[in-house]
């Protein structure tokens, strides 16, 4: 199989916690033909039947900071794109180093993709411990803006349990200064940035956001019976 390598930084040549590895300018694009692939600093993208196009403006970067949801964390390697990569069919192959496992058993590794609403979905793919890769073939189109790997026993997926959906609400959203939580039996609210870092936590039904910058965040609300619901919060 012919491989087109567009990696701007080699797999072992990224000395920083955050590296930009591909920039596609506005009006430009990168096309990947079926039977070919590109490797972006350890993430291989190989379309199956149709040419896959990454259109600009879009930046793909790699972070050595693990993504986390609650107490669950990924390996210490996360690939992110500034714009959604949509409609992909084919194989994604995620490379990792043993020092990036973050106390996760290698045999338990699964692929994790983050959607446009910031939720994570788990895919149990093919693990190759000899070459340190985990891969998954998508026969149906998938869209994502981040890729990582985590433990099958402690994934990043957030499960919302009915009837909590109808009981908990958050307002105003978007907000400039403060958000309010409306619902019964709220035990804790935790605010995370899009890289999985906890920004705030409270047991109150309101959170002051005036001291944090604008952007998108994930609010995880937990009730006293351990049910959870997550909201995407936009801070102006």
pLDDT digits (tens, 9 = 90+) for 34-60: 999 999 999 999 999 899 999 999 999
Residue-wise pLDDT tens digits, 53-95: 999 999 999 988 888 876 788 999 999 998 999 999 999 999 9
Cα distances (Å, whole numbers) of residue 58 to 1, 20, 47, 53, 55: 27, 11, 19, 11, 7
Question: Taking 50 as the threshold, does the pLDDT of residue 16 lie above it?
Answer: no
Hey, where are the domains in the chain? 18-151, 164-235
pTM value surpassing 0.85: no
The pLDDT score that the predictor gives to residue 164 is 42
The pLDDT score that the predictor gives to residue 161 is 41
Residue-wise pLDDT tens digits, 21-38: 899 999 999 999 999 999
Residue-wise pLDDT tens digits, 164-173: 444 688 888 8
The pLDDT score that the predictor gives to residue 160 is 47
Residue-wise pLDDT tens digits, 186-221: 899 999 887 778 899 999 999 999 999 988 888 888
164-235 has CATH 3.40.50.720 classification? no
The pLDDT score that the predictor gives to residue 167 is 67
Residue-wise pLDDT tens digits, 99-138: 999 999 999 999 999 988 778 889 999 999 999 999 999 9
The pLDDT score that the predictor gives to residue 151 is 94
The pLDDT score that the predictor gives to residue 80 is 92
- The CATH number that domain 18-151 falls under is 2.60.220
Cβ-based burial of 120 (10 A; exposed 0-12, middle 13-18, buried ≥19): buried
The pLDDT score that the predictor gives to residue 226 is 74
And the tokens for 75?
A: 């390996």
Alpha helices in 69-221 (DSSP H): 164-167
Contacts of residue 62, Cβ cutoff 8 Å, sequence gap at least 6: 9, 14, 18, 19, 21, 40, 41, 42, 43, 77, 78, 79, 80
Residue 201 CA to its chain's centroid (Å): 21
β-strands 126-128, 78-95: how paired? unpaired
- Is the model more confident about 147 or about 72? 147
Please state, in angstroms and rounded to a whole number, the distance separating the CA atoms of residues 58 and 65.
Answer: 21
């Amino acid at each position: 199989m012919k491989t087109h390598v567009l990696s701007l930084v080699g797999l072992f040549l990224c000395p920083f916690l955050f590296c930009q590895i591909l920039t596609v300018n506005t009006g430009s694009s990168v096309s990947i033909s079926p039977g070919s692939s590109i490797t972006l600093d350890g993430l291989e993208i190989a379309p199956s039947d149709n040419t896959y196009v990454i259109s600009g403006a879009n930046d793909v970067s790699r972070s050595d900071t693990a993504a986390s949801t609650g107490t669950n964390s990924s390996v210490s390697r996360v690939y992110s794109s500034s714009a959604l990569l949509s409609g992909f069919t084919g194989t994604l192959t995620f490379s990792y180093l043993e020092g990036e496992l973050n106390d996760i058993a290698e045999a338990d590794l699964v692929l994790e993709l983050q959607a446009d609403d910031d939720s994570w979905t788990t895919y149990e793919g093919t693990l190759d411990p000899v070459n340190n890769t985990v891969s998954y073939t998508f026969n149906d189109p998938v869209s994502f803006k981040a890729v990582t790997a985590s433990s099958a026993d402690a994934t990043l997926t957030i499960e919302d349990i009915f009837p909590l959906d109808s009981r908990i609400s958050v307002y105003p959203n978007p907000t400039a200064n403060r958000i309010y939580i409306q619902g019964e039996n709220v035990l804790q609210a935790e605010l995370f940035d899009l890289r999985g870092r906890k920004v705030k936590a409270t047991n109150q039904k309101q959170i002051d956001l005036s001291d944090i910058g604008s952007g998108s965040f994930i609010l995880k609300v937990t009730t006293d019976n351990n049910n959870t619901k997550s909201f995407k919060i936009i801070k102006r």
